[in-house]
A = this chain, B = another copy of it.
Amino acid sequence: MSSASSIKQGWHNLIERNIVMQFIDVTLRGCAQVMFQNNPLTGLLFFMAIFLGGYLENLPYIGFACLFATVIATLTAYISKIDLASLRSGLYGYNACLVGVALPTFLDNTPLLWFTIALGSIVSVIATLSLADFLKSWKVAALTAPFVLVTWTILLASYAFFAIKGIALPKADLSQQYIDASSQSVDYLQQFTPDIFRGISEVFLFSSVAVGIIFVAGLAVSSIWAALFAIFGSLLAYMTASLLQADFVNIHTGLYSFSAVLTAIALGSTFNKPSLRVAIYTVIGVIFTVFVQGALDTALAPIGIPTLTMPFVLATWLFLVPNKDLMPQDRQ
Interface of A is mostly: helix
Contact A294 to B156, CB < 8 A, known contacts A119-B284, A163-B243, A284-B119: yes
Checking B112, B169, B245 against A161 with a beta-carbon cut-off of 8 angstroms, the contacting residue is B245
Within 8 Å of chain B (Cβ to Cβ): is A221? no
On whether the beta carbons of B298 and A303 are closer than 8 Å, the reply is: yes
On whether the beta carbons of A160 and B303 are closer than 8 Å, the reply is: no
**Number of A interface residues, CB 8 Å?**
67
A109 to chain B, nearest CB (A): 16
Contact A295 to B156, CB < 8 A, known contacts A162-B178, A284-B122: yes
- For the complex, give the distance between the alpha carbons of A134 and B320 in Å: 11
Of A55-63, A123-131, A203-211, the stretch lying at the interface with chain B is A123-131
Of A3-11, A24-32, A36-44, A285-293, the stretch lying at the interface with chain B is A285-293
A308 to chain B, nearest CB (A): 14
Q: Which B residue sits closest to A256, measured CB to CB?
A: B160
- For the complex, give the distance between the alpha carbons of A129 and B297 in Å: 26
On whether the beta carbons of A153 and B295 are closer than 8 Å, the reply is: yes
A159 to chain B, nearest CB (A): 4
Interfacial chain B residues near A134, Cβ < 8 Å:
138, 321
Contact A175 to B159, CB < 8 A, known contacts A134-B138, A284-B119, A284-B122: yes
Which of A134-173 touch B at CB < 8 Å? 134, 137-138, 152-166, 169, 172-173
